[in-house]
């Protein structure tokens, strides 16, 4: 995993290609009731896409194989709407991967879990719909050669509300890994989890258009996506409208992000013809004249990837003290915006979760709201330790000093019913935003 993550961030710069039914409707989400034939690129030129990416010194690309409306731009054999139902039957995925590989570029795919055409939505997931997703991913990962990264979307987002449990993340994750073990997986909506941890992603994703910023001290392998046009899909107005300035792309995004182990992916949306517009081509060439890949990034360290649910979520929880209106349940309610803290002036404390039955666990996490508030710029904990109740006493399983904003410890698997986080303060009122307990498959 570490070698694959390093290889990905060493690419430094890539091309996002939002091209799907929405392209033909001047929309950001395609109309799920529209006929398949509306998707009709009259002059598809994926070689031009690849050449433009090369001109900007990009190292890879990523294409929207299925967006939120659910239309597939490859001829899927599932019952879903796709280019197979059009008169031209253009396999855009095939053309894209062939062109980018021929140009020496690596390839990624984007796939939305949300599908309005297939009625895949919150509180409406069935085993058959899970199987449809798996069948379509099987096609994408068995028919188009090696895929370097899969970017999922429409999952665990406030606007889709499809949780990682109802469309089972781990099951989908294992399915893709079984088909292509070297494919990295990232979910665009996992950025809501603390920036210091790889939750539901092999690569941390930040969507700049949604206001998601990569922290200055970020040390996880990451990508940051943003558009060269105003929005993600091509609009007819884009032919004459202003694009993001070259200086912004290079000096404000690309160079600073590369210093944080982050790969920038710039969206360059094809037109209804299936080509990049002249102004987009020119802007990418300008970027290439101002920036070149400087080679491998600084070496990254190994990070634990979380792909399963927090066993502590909603379980009975107790603490060393209970300030007025502040209960320890604020540390295991699934929200990283709330936090428990001990009584003011106490120099040590603990918080303890009762799992209600003996469970296996091999990952424990501690998250402070560092950087989420102006008055909380750094950790307030001096030392900490995780313990399990075994044989009538507490046994330490992990610990350290001055934790990161999100500290994850992978340990040898143990079984326990009660797990405790004990800490000593470096300054008053440390806040625990999340206490995580996981049984993560190896």
39-92 pLDDT, tens digit each: 999 999 999 999 999 999 999 999 999 999 999 999 999 999 999 999 999 999
**Which pTM was predicted?**
0.93
Half-sphere exposure (Cβ direction) of 165: Cα atoms closer than 13 Å = 5
Q: Give the residue from 49, 56, 55 showing the smallest Cα distance to 13.
A: 56
Q: What is the helix (H) or strand (E) element at residue 282, kind and residue range?
A: helix 278-290
Q: Compute the distance between CA of residue 15 and CA of residue 252 in angstroms, rounded to an integer.
A: 17
Q: Looking at the domain that runs over 308-438, which CATH code has it been given?
A: 2.60.120.260
Least trusted range by pLDDT, from 128-142, 303-317, 361-375, 381-395: 361-375
Percentage of residues in the chain having pLDDT higher than 70: 100
Cα–Cα distances (Å) from 294 to 26, 275, 352, in that order, read 37, 29, 48
- The CATH 2.60.120.260 domain(s) of the chain lie at 308-438
Q: Could you give the dihedral angle defined by the CA atoms of residues 67, 73, 75 and 76, in that order, rounded to the nearest 10 degrees?
A: -10
Q: Is the pLDDT of residue 403 over 80?
A: no
Strand partners, 16: 62, 267
Q: Is the pLDDT of residue 211 over 80?
A: yes
CATH fold of 2-290, please?
TIM Barrel (3.20.20)
CB 334 within 8 A of CB 310: yes
Q: What is the mean pLDDT of residues 156-173?
A: 94
Q: Compute the distance between CA of residue 264 and CA of residue 14 in angstroms, rounded to an integer.
A: 6
Please state, rounded to an integer, the average pLDDT across all residues of the chain.
94
pLDDT at res. 414 = 96
Q: Compute the distance between CA of residue 80 and CA of residue 47 in angstroms, rounded to an integer.
A: 28
Q: Compute the distance between CA of residue 166 and CA of residue 156 in angstroms, rounded to an integer.
A: 10
Q: Is the pLDDT of residue 209 over 90?
A: no
- The CATH 3.20.20.80 domain(s) of the chain lie at 2-290
Q: Compute the distance between CA of residue 109 and CA of residue 64 in angstroms, rounded to an integer.
A: 6
pLDDT at res. 442 = 80
The bridge status of strand 204-207 relative to strand 222-227 is parallel
**SS3 call for 157:** coil
Of the pLDDT bands very low, low, confident and very high (cuts 50, 70, 90), residue 424 is very high
DSSP sequence for 181-215: TT-EEEEGGGGGS-TTSEESBSSEEEEGGGT----
Tell me: the pLDDT tens digits for 213-230?
888 878 899 999 999 999
pLDDT at res. 290 = 97
Q: What is the mean pLDDT of residues 397-415?
A: 89
350 CB contacts (<8 Å, ≥6 apart)? 319, 320, 420, 421, 422, 423
């Amino acid at each position: 995993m570490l070698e694959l993550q390093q290889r990905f961030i060493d690419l430094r710069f890539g091309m996002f290609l939002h091209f799907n039914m929405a392209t033909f409707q001047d929309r950001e989400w395609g109309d799920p009731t529209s006929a398949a034939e509306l998707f009709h690129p009259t002059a598809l030129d994926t070689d031009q896409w690849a050449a433009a990416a090369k001109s900007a010194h990009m190292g890879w690309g990523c294409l929207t194989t299925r967006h939120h409306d659910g239309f597939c731009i490859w001829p899927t054999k599932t019952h879903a709407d796709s280019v197979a139902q059009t008169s031209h039957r253009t396999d855009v995925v095939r053309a894209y991967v062939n062109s980018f590989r021929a140009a020496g570029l690596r390839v990624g795919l984007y796939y939305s879990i949300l599908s309005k055409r297939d009625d895949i939505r919150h509180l409406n997931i069935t085993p058959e719909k899970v199987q449809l997703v798996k069948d379509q991913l099987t096609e994408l990962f068995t028919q188009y050669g090696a895929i370097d990264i899969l970017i999922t979307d429409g999952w665990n987002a406030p606007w889709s509300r499809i949780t990682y449990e109802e469309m089972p993340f781990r099951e989908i994750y294992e399915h893709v890994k079984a088909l292509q073990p070297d494919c990295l997986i990232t979910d665009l909506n996992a950025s809501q989890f603390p920036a210091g941890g790889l939750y539901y992603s092999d690569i941390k994703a930040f969507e700049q258009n949604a206001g998601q910023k990569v922290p200055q001290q970020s040390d996880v392998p990451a990508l940051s996506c943003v558009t060269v046009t105003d929005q993600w899909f091509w609009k007819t107005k884009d032919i004459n409208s202003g694009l993001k300035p070259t200086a912004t792309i290079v000096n404000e995004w690309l160079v600073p992000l590369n210093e944080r182990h982050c790969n920038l992916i710039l969206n360059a949306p094809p037109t209804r013809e299936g080509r990049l517009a002249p102004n987009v081509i020119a802007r990418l060439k300008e970027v290439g004249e101002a920036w070149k890949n400087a080679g491998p990034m600084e070496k990254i360290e190994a990070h634990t990837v979380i792909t399963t649910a927090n066993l502590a979520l909603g379980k009975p929880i107790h603490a060393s003290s209970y300030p007025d209106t502040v209960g320890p349940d604020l540390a295991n309610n699934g929200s990283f915006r709330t936090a428990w803290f001990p009584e003011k002036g106490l120099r040590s404390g603990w918080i303890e979760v009762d799992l209600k039955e003996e469970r296996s666990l091999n990952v424990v996490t501690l998250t402070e709201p560092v950087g989420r508030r102006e008055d909380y710029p750094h950790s307030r904990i001096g030392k900490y330790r995780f313990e399990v109740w075994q044989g009538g006493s507490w046994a330490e399983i992990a610990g350290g000093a001055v934790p990161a904003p999100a500290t994850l410890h992978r340990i040898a698997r143990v079984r326990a019913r009660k797990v405790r986080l004990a800490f000593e303060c470096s300054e008053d009122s440390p806040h625990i935003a999340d206490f995580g307990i996981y049984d993560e498959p190896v």
